[in-house]
Amino acid sequence: MATITQTQTTAATESAPLKLTLAYQEEIHEEVLAYKYSAYLPVYDTETTFPPLKPFEFNDRGLVANKEKPNLLSKENVPALKVINLTPGIGTEIRGLQLSQLNDIQKDELALLIAERGVVVFRDQDFKDIGIEKQKEFGRYFGPLHIHPVGAHVKESQELHNIYLGSDNEYRNRRRGNRLTTTGYHSDVSYERQPPGITILTLLSVPPTGGDTAWESQTAAYARLSPPIQALLENLRAEHSGFPQAEGARRDGLFVRREPVKTEHPIVRVHPATGQKALFVNPGFTKRIVGLKDEESEALLKLLFHHITFGQDFQVRVKWEEGTVALWDNRVTSHTAISDYNVHVPQEGLRHGFRITTLAERPRGVNGLESRWDE
């Protein structure tokens, strides 16, 4: 199996033992690194299956936030606060404020800030050390937590999707071995009926250089298009599919814990808290434009994907530091990891963390255009 380096049966709890497959080599972390975050190393539960996700009512926390954000961004409350915009259109960095200590009013204002700026990067955080239950509790404030249908996870919690690339597991690189670049812009699991809103990414181990993450503003990408193209796209839906991901996982010997779906989402999506229009297509999961001939769909998606991938004047690249946590809104951004470091040296080439992904509303486009799917 392409991604599995060692197999072990273990007990997730005393009452409900699970067969877990390790996606790392224990000796590297015990003997070479004496790894502090071994409880967060990637495993696969090879038994548990989940039914299709059910519809739910979603209320965006940004809708009740004070637009001036006086509780989150006030230096009167936090004298050490430092807030800078990383680029004019996307990305904000915050220092001097702990995510783990935010109250609900501050979280509401944060939700709105993330929607407005696309991605908000917090530095010098204690978030990775507060424990799994508190990490999940923080995520749940913004929406139900998503369990990835095929990805590796943390031993004690399937809601913590594992991000891992090191010398003992190069699966994420090998999947792109026939491409000139390892970058691949996507919006997390956009094929879901109610796809993600806010994602929270914490890296536990970062290379000394490299391993950055880049985000692209889908609101700016939409705004750059000419009015005739905007008008065309506002009336169209595109198919987002989880089938290639599931088929690839099965081909590589991995377990699929939820059967894949495909959903037709509006190409132009309206954010409920800001009212902004954003493109909602991405090279990772968008497969075709509904209602167009094959050649028309391919040509238009090629244009949009090129626009998203190479629009460096509406992208931001973030370097990870010790204690960095990034939060972004999948409804108005796409993102990619940048795997440019040497994964073959354990002390220098380990990029490991976990992602908490919250689900949001059923996408709604211009003039009430909604997502649809076959039951």
Q: DSSP string of 80-120?
A: T-EEEESSSSS-EEEES--GGG--HHHHHHHHHHHHHHSEE
For residue 149, the number of C-alpha atoms closer than 13 Å in the C-beta half-sphere is: 23
- Lookup: tokens for 63: 């809708």
Which residues does the annotation mark as catalytic? 186, 188, 335, 355
Every domain of the chain and the residues it spans:
20-50+58-359
For residue 216, the number of C-alpha atoms closer than 13 Å in the C-beta half-sphere is: 30
For position 14, what pLDDT does the model report? 40
What is the pLDDT tens value at each position of the chain, 375 positions in all? 334 444 343 333 344 556 667 666 665 666 556 788 989 999 988 889 999 999 999 999 999 999 999 999 988 878 899 999 999 999 999 999 999 999 999 999 999 999 999 999 999 999 999 999 999 999 999 999 999 999 999 998 999 999 988 655 555 555 556 778 888 999 999 999 999 999 999 999 888 889 999 999 999 999 999 999 999 999 999 999 999 999 999 998 889 999 999 999 999 999 999 999 999 999 999 999 999 999 999 999 999 999 999 999 999 999 999 999 999 999 999 999 998 887 777 666 688 999 999 999 999 999 999 999 997
For position 11, what pLDDT does the model report? 34
- Please choose, from the candidates 330, 315, 232, 314, the residue with its C-alpha nearest in 3D space to the C-alpha of residue 280: 330
For position 6, what pLDDT does the model report? 40
- Lookup: tokens for 156: 């004690």
What is 20-50+58-359's CATH number? 3.60.130.10
3-state helix, strand, coil in the chain (%, to 5): 25, 25, 50
